[in-house]
Structure 1
Amino acid sequence: MTAGETQTQTQTQTQTDTATATGTEADRFHERLKAFEGRPAATAGRAKDAVNEPMIRHWCEAMGDTSPAYTGPDAIAPPTMLQAWTMGGLSGHTDRSSAYDELLALLDGAGCTSVVATDCEQEYLRPLRPGDTVTFDAVIESVSPRKTTKLGTGHFVTTRMDVRANGAPAGTHRFRILKYAPAAPRGPRPAAPLRPRPVINRDNQGFWDGVRDHKLLIQRCTACATLRFPWLPGCNACSSPDWDTVEASGAGTVFSYVVMHHPPFPAFDPPYAVALVELAEGVRMTSNITGVPYDKVRIGLPVQLEFLRVDDTLELPVFRGEAG
């Protein structure tokens, strides 16, 4: 065997030994994490409010769900609200156990300092009705081995919440997060791609003509005077195909919003806020919020229309937040 072959063999063996040691270390750490499986995350939790009609109404308005099952004397709550009744809000729940916090602290100490919610699963056993008292128990159901994703390397943590209504089982909610160490950027950042182009057709051509002229135009039915947005070929109130337009004042408030962290889309730089803005005229439209940090956007925030040129050939209506 030559000296070169010996050196190559030594390097290969060193790499193998390093990988084995790293794998063993990861296995030992995972065993520490698995020790939390089965431990309670919350015990004898109690919803801060009983199932109630105002919350159901707000939920249905936000979702655009007009099912008659959610109104009237025999109303039930939308099944997907199962988790909503158990949320602790900004003040949290006093019945939360220390095990979940200890698990997250252990992951933080291993460098998994970032977190993203990945998915949830729900099972429904009985409908919830206004007046029901909601209680729950939660358990740390599983902690995955180390996983490598585009976001980074970490562990998936799944909690299972068993929900009861007036003491009787009502459903199960599983919630999964990824606690991870962010991946280091690789190489120089590529040039930003162009924003997607809007699809312009005969039904919305007038809207984009208005944007070109720095006007935000709202359709108005000439038969019943109902305003509508987004643009449609006919009135959704009286079905008339005839319409004209009114120019929006540009004033509005944030009706709802979400902060986009993941997945990344070409030409967008997360995190950024996307809001459902309620215009002074009463219609709502989705757009970006500018002028304030993404984490300062709040429901009710006053906003004002402006036009943002994103590249040489595209200008978009957005809304600038008015910082308090």
Structure 2
Amino acid sequence: MSDTTDRDLHELAVKQAALGEVRGAPAADPVNAPMIRHWLDAMGDANPVYLDQGIAPPAMAQVWTMPGVRRGAKQGSPVDDVMAALDAGGFTGVVATNCEQTYHRPARLGERLTSATRFTDLAGPKRTALGEGYFATWNVTWYAESGEAVAEMLFRVLKFRPPERRPPSPPAEERRPYPLRPAVNRDTEFFWEGVRQGELRIQSCADCGELRHPPGPICPHCRSTNRAHVVASGEGTVYSYVVHHHPPVPGREPPFVVAVVSLPEGVRIVGNIVDCPPEAVGIGMSLRVTYRSMDDELVLPMWAPREP
């Protein structure tokens, strides 16, 4: 990228930041029980306190003002022009890196929330494992009609220039490292050790036995920090899915399917569906876990249609 274009991007970022907090239109619908019920079902949250007390789960703040597929008139967010300029500069890839959330109080049934966006920073260009790119940061605050802040979220994304398409992968002994590496930490290392051994491990509470996925440090059921795991059967069904076409993803050839898979053990897991054309995937499809070597070190669990 030329110095002039880089300077233009930063000048635009400074201009958008100077706008301060820009309010959008009020939510199309007030906080309502049916949407809360759908959310709780999708998240597997059986806590009755929300509907009993007429409040929304705090993490739903963003849901109430999402524009949906048919976005309609442009809301005028200060982020939009920066994203468009980055796209025009060839930085069409995007990956979220941070989402820091602050909850002031739950939203109550009948309240109509309004979001306000403040662009804060553009850092770059920087070289990353995905390619050269810029880190864009902004804050969104949700307000009740009284003007009281309900929740805040800081978003940071990396907008990167996807690498040029390469010829088919060379033989295994010449393969380059797969660019998308999973995060392995104290909470998840047991899972990835299981994958290396051909096991699909699900974290369990060593005290109450509750299963949970993704793994975490504390049992959401009894709040214990004692952890164990079980080995799942490796079978599942498609709970929901998307067919990814754009933006380009390093190491993957679109279109490809990303699915939420329901396991008979009672948890859900996200993974790619392979050995099946995207148009053949459907809700309820029976799947079987399969393990794919992505490079000389990394193995990923994926899902393939189960034989009748």
Q: Is the 8 A contact 2:78 2:118 kept in 1?
A: no
Determine if the alignment matches structure 1 residue 171 to structure 2 residue 151.
Answer: yes
Equivalent position of 2:65 in the other structure: 86
Q: Is the 8 A contact 2:285 2:305 kept in 1?
A: yes
One-letter identity of the residue aligned with 1:172:
E
Equivalent position of 1:61 in the other structure: 41
Q: Is the 8 A contact 1:41 1:100 kept in 2?
A: no
CA separation of 1:257/1:198 partners in 2, compared to 1, >3 Å: closer, same or farther?
A: farther
Equivalent position of 2:277 in the other structure: 292
One-letter identity of the residue aligned with 1:139:
R
Per-residue CA deviation, residues 224-271 of structure 1 (Å, 9 max, x unaligned), is xxxx999xxxxx9xxxxxxxxxx99x8954246797x9xx99xx8577
Query: Displacement, 1:68?
Result: 3.5
Q: Paired residue for 1:146, among 125, 142, 151?
A: 125
Determine if the alignment matches structure 1 residue 254 to structure 2 residue 254.
Answer: no
Equivalent position of 2:81 in the other structure: 102
One-letter identity of the residue aligned with 1:140:
F
Determine if the alignment matches structure 1 residue 304 to structure 2 residue 260.
Answer: no
CA separation of 1:64/1:297 partners in 2, compared to 1, >3 Å: closer, same or farther?
A: farther
Determine if the alignment matches structure 1 residue 75 to structure 2 residue 54.
Answer: yes
Task: Give the aligned length.
Answer: 250
Pick which of 58-67 and 191-200 moved more.
191-200
Equivalent position of 1:159 in the other structure: 138
Determine if the alignment matches structure 1 residue 181 to structure 2 residue 156.
Answer: no
C-alpha distance in 2 between matches for 1:257 and 1:46: 29
Per-residue CA deviation, residues 66-110 of structure 1 (Å, 9 max, x unaligned), is 3342231x1321212111212111112635117543322222222
One-letter identity of the residue aligned with 1:90:
V
Q: Is the 8 A contact 2:92 2:161 kept in 1?
A: yes
Q: Is the partner of 2:39 in helix, strand or coil?
A: helix
Determine if the alignment matches structure 1 residue 43 to structure 2 residue 23.
Answer: yes
- Unpaired runs of 5+ in structure 1? 1-20, 205-227, 231-235, 237-246
Determine if the alignment matches structure 1 residue 137 to structure 2 residue 116.
Answer: yes
With the length of structure 1 as denominator, give the TM-score of the two structures: 0.58
| Bigger Rg, structure 1 or 2 | 1
CA separation of 1:104/1:24 partners in 2, compared to 1, >3 Å: closer, same or farther?
A: closer
CA separation of 1:171/1:283 partners in 2, compared to 1, >3 Å: closer, same or farther?
A: closer
C-alpha distance in 1 between matches for 2:40 and 2:68: 19
C-alpha distance in 1 between matches for 2:292 and 2:32: 44
One-letter identity of the residue aligned with 2:47:
S
Determine if the alignment matches structure 1 residue 115 to structure 2 residue 88.
Answer: no
- Unpaired runs of 5+ in structure 2? 179-191, 203-210, 214-220, 222-232, 294-298
One-letter identity of the residue aligned with 1:57:
R
CA separation of 1:162/1:297 partners in 2, compared to 1, >3 Å: closer, same or farther?
A: farther
Per-residue CA deviation, residues 104-123 of structure 1 (Å, 9 max, x unaligned), is 22222222122222221222
Equivalent position of 1:318 in the other structure: 303
Q: Is the partner of 1:101 in helix, strand or coil?
A: helix
CA separation of 1:128/1:177 partners in 2, compared to 1, >3 Å: closer, same or farther?
A: same
Q: Is the 8 A contact 2:12 2:82 kept in 1?
A: no
CA separation of 1:255/1:307 partners in 2, compared to 1, >3 Å: closer, same or farther?
A: closer
C-alpha distance in 1 between matches for 2:268 and 2:119: 40
C-alpha distance in 2 between matches for 1:253 and 1:307: 12
CA RMSD of aligned residues (A): 4.7
Equivalent position of 1:52 in the other structure: 32
Q: Is the partner of 1:145 in helix, strand or coil?
A: strand
Q: Paired residue for 1:191, among 172, 175, 196?
A: 175
Pick which of 284-293 and 175-184 moved more.
284-293
Query: Displacement, 1:288?
Result: 4.0
One-letter identity of the residue aligned with 1:180:
F
CA separation of 1:297/1:137 partners in 2, compared to 1, >3 Å: closer, same or farther?
A: farther
